[in-house]
Structure formats: structure tokens, C-alpha cells
Amino acid sequence: MANIQALRGTKDIYAPEIAYWQMVEAVVRDCLGRATYQEIRTPIFEQTDLFQRGIGEATDVVSKEMYSFTDRGDRSLTLRPEGTAGAVRAYIERKLFAQGGVQRLWYTGPMFRYERPQAGRQRQFHQVGVEVLGTNDARADVEVIAIATQILGTLGLKNLSLQLNSVGNKEDRQRYRDALVEYLTPFKADLDKDSQDRLDRNPLRILDSKDKKTQVIAKDAPSILDYLSESSKAHFDKVQASLANLGIDYQLNPCLVRGLDYYTHTAFEIQSNDLGAQATVCGGGRYDGLVSELGGPETAAVGWAIGLERLVILLQQLAETPTQSLDFYVVSRGDAAEASSGVLAHKLRLAGFSVELDLSGSAFGKQFKRADRSGAIACLVLGDDEAANDQVQLKWLQTKEQLTLAQSELLDKSGFWKTQILWNTPKQQA
């Protein structure tokens, strides 16, 4: 019988790679917590109509990439392809707008799109995202961008560039859409097939084409910045001025339109020069019409999402695998010693130490080798003699210094031994 394997476009995440994920999640939670963002956890699947209405039926995500199915109640459901629509649905359904003021939300978890798998792009992929709902203030646009740069900077990423654009309001986009179609129509036969299809359905996405020939044609297309209303220009000017005040560099990119229909005004991407073709690490923008489109009150909003797979690839290129500190590695030999070692390990964990208990039952020599490889600061050794006398041998693995002490002394003076562990921690691990 053939082995069952993970589906194409999905992967298992485990040691040592999982350490990078844990590091990212810790930094994200810390940075967003200090900025007073509240975590929200939404369902992995929603009604298909949520994404059709929210993202737009003409988008590639809805028309080509969604995992949709009919359940036993004859309802069309879809595994979420992105996080904003679900967060907005929750904002409306739970009447978070009734609380007044600005709602700052963040989420993380798996998303699903039927795409061609490649480095940094899976069919089940993971994002962390933020949504600020209830304000059209340009400072909110800048706040979310600044927090994204803070997270990436805290993780040590370099060679990043902020690409910035404005797609205006609905009326601006319609005027620009007409001008863009008028420009591109004579070149229709020279466009790539996807762009030919988009000319009628979603012409702004042609500007984001990766086809070289299409890119040459799009290079001379009208700029959306020339079609912004006075109010849209004023908003975008405030965004740029505020970014300058924070010392955040950016590049204007009139071809940046993002792939979802709900964007208005500010659109941005943070790209890495170290990722190749799939360069975008973070993308987002303003979406002032989405809440009302999904049945809620008129609500201005802005947000972004960071792709964690691409982020982890960058971190793996930058640094050694993060390691979790281990205080004690416990080895034992003999029935009484093994029973005593399990109790000791449990009590030490309750006292706040990190402890690995060797469960192999092999000879001391083999257990000592595993202790050396574990990265622990100290090894605790129990034989039947130590077990009979409620003692333990403690061996500092860096200096090889060894002493015998009562187990009660180790447990009752946990503060003292935590200090000793700090003193005996190798400098490169401190």
C-alpha cells in the first residue's frame, strides 16, 4: 500500500524551520501588542459570497484560485484566500463599529489559493495581517506602514524597499480605467493571454503583469496619479509627508495596483531584493468601501498582510537557526533512578527551568553524548545510588565541572541555580 503524502502546495513545518516561525510570531505579537492592536481569530472557511462580493468576481483570486465546495446543507463555502474579508465580516456581524472610535485588529493563520507552487508560494500559505477600521485619517495609512517596517526591522531584514501608490476613489479609478483601456486596446494582440482577458474584466491588473512584453507596453501607459481628484491628491500628499516625517523612505510606483478590487487611495508593497521574482513581503492599502459593500455602515479602513513563507525564507538566508535555551539535560540509569529522574524533571519544570529528560534507557555514555549535543547548560545525572539518597550529580557542560548535591537543594534554591545557569551560559548563547 502506497504511503499517503502531503498534497502538492502544502508542507509540514517542523524543527529546525519551526524556530523561525516561532521567532516571527513572537516579534509580531510584541510589536502589535505595544501598538494596542487586538487579535481576532476568524473561521478558516466562509460563505463563498463573502469573497465574491468583497474581493471582486473579476479578480484572479475569485475567478481562478479559490478552494470552494458545497456542503451537506447545499451551501457554497470557500477556504479563505485572504484575511481582510473575514475580519470585516466579523466587524459587521459583531457590531464592533457600535463601540465607537477606531478598531485596530490583527490576525494570523493559514490561507488557501490554487496557485502554481514555488519558493515562497504554497497553496496553503500563512499570513499575518492588520486592519484599522473607522478612520480615513492619512495617519492611519502611515501607522500601519510604520508598524510593518518595525516588524521587519526587528527581525533584522535588510534590502527592503517600500513601493507606494494611490489608486484614488471609485470615481478616480473609473476615469483612469477608461483611459487605460483606450491606451491598451490598440496593443491587445501583443499582450500576454492573461492581460488580454483582463482588458475587459480588470484592466488595472495589466499594470502588474510579469510578462516582459506586456511590461514594455504598460511602461508608457497613463499614470493613475494624473487622474486623482483634489481630495485624493490631498490624502496621498499627507501620506507622503507623514512617511517623510518618520524617516521612512519610499518609491512612487504608479503601476502598483494590488490584486484585489476593494482597494482605494493608498496602495503599497514592501519588497525584498533578496527574493527574486516573488519579491513582495508585505502588501496592503486602504479599502474605504469594503465594509459598506458587505452590508455594514460606511467605514473607512486600511490594512496589510505579510506572507510568512517568504519572510521565513529571508530569515533563513540571514541568520543561524534560532535555538531554544535548555537549562538541564537529565540522564539516568536503573529502575529507581529512572523513576526519580521523571519526578525531578517535572518539579524542575514547575520551578521554571527548561528540562529535557533522556528516555532512551541506554548506557550512560550514549546519554552523555546526547546531553553534549542538546545545547543544555548542565547535565543532571542519576544512578540508583543517587536515587536512594535523594541526590543528583550536576555537571556543567561547558567547563565539565561536576558536583554532587541533594535534590532538595536544587529545588529549594531555584533562584540561586538560575543565576548559576546564567553564569555558565556560553557567551554565544547568552
Task: Dump pLDDT digits (tens) for 220-234.
Answer: 899 999 999 999 999
**pLDDT band, very low/low/confident/very high, at 260 (cuts 50, 70, 90):** low
Same domain for 306 and 420? no
Give the global pTM.
0.88
Place of cell 534554591: 413
Does position 430 have pLDDT exceeding 60, yes or no?
A: no
Residue 411 lies in a domain: yes
Q: Which helix (H) or strand (E) holds 283?
A: strand 280-286
Distance of CA 43 to CAs 123, 164, 306, 356, 383, Å? 18, 31, 19, 36, 51
Q: What pLDDT is recorded for position 248?
A: 97
Same domain for 246 and 365? no
CA-CA-CA-CA torsion sign (257, 258, 261, 262): negative
The model's pLDDT over 198-219, given as tens digits with 9 standing for 90+, comes to 888 888 888 878 888 998 998 8
Specify the number of domains making up the chain: 2
Same domain for 331 and 312? no
**pLDDT band, very low/low/confident/very high, at 304 (cuts 50, 70, 90):** very high
Q: What pLDDT is recorded for position 427?
A: 57
Q: What pLDDT is recorded for position 429?
A: 43
Residue 192 lies in a domain: no
Same domain for 365 and 235? no
**pLDDT band, very low/low/confident/very high, at 129 (cuts 50, 70, 90):** very high
On average, the pLDDT of the chain sits at: 92
Cα–Cα nearest to 63, from 262, 258, 201: 201
End of a domain among 283, 300, 318? 318
Same domain for 62 and 142? yes
- CATH number for the domain including 298? 3.30.930.10
Same domain for 330 and 313? no
Pairing of strands 76-79, 45-47: antiparallel
Residue 40's domain comprises 18-169+229-318
Write the DSSP string, 343-374: HHHHHHHHTT--EEE--S---HHHHHHHHHHH
Same domain for 42 and 104? yes
Three-state DSSP at 249 gives coil
Residue 177 lies in a domain: no
**pLDDT band, very low/low/confident/very high, at 167 (cuts 50, 70, 90):** very high
Q: Average pLDDT of 84-96?
A: 97
Q: What pLDDT is recorded for position 278?
A: 63
- CATH number for the domain including 398? 3.40.50.800
Q: What pLDDT is recorded for position 208?
A: 79
Cα–Cα nearest to 329, from 413, 396, 386: 396
Residue 308 lies in a domain: yes
Same domain for 240 and 110? yes
Same domain for 299 and 333? no
End of a domain among 318, 338, 362? 318
End of a domain among 296, 318, 340? 318
The model's pLDDT over 33-75, given as tens digits with 9 standing for 90+, comes to 999 999 999 999 999 999 999 888 878 899 899 999 999 999 9
Distance of CA 272 to CAs 162, 277, 306, 310, 317, Å? 9, 10, 12, 10, 12
Residue 420 lies in a domain: yes
Same domain for 254 and 385? no
Q: What pLDDT is recorded for position 428?
A: 46
Residue 112 lies in a domain: yes
Same domain for 311 and 333? no
β partners of residue 47: 77
Residue 407 lies in a domain: yes
Same domain for 248 and 118? yes
Residue 161 lies in a domain: yes
β partners of residue 272: 160
Q: Which three cell numbers stand for residue 60?
A: 484572479
The model's pLDDT over 356-382, given as tens digits with 9 standing for 90+, comes to 999 999 999 999 999 999 999 999 999
278 and 188 Cβ atoms separated by less than 8 Å? no
Q: Average pLDDT of 136-165?
A: 95
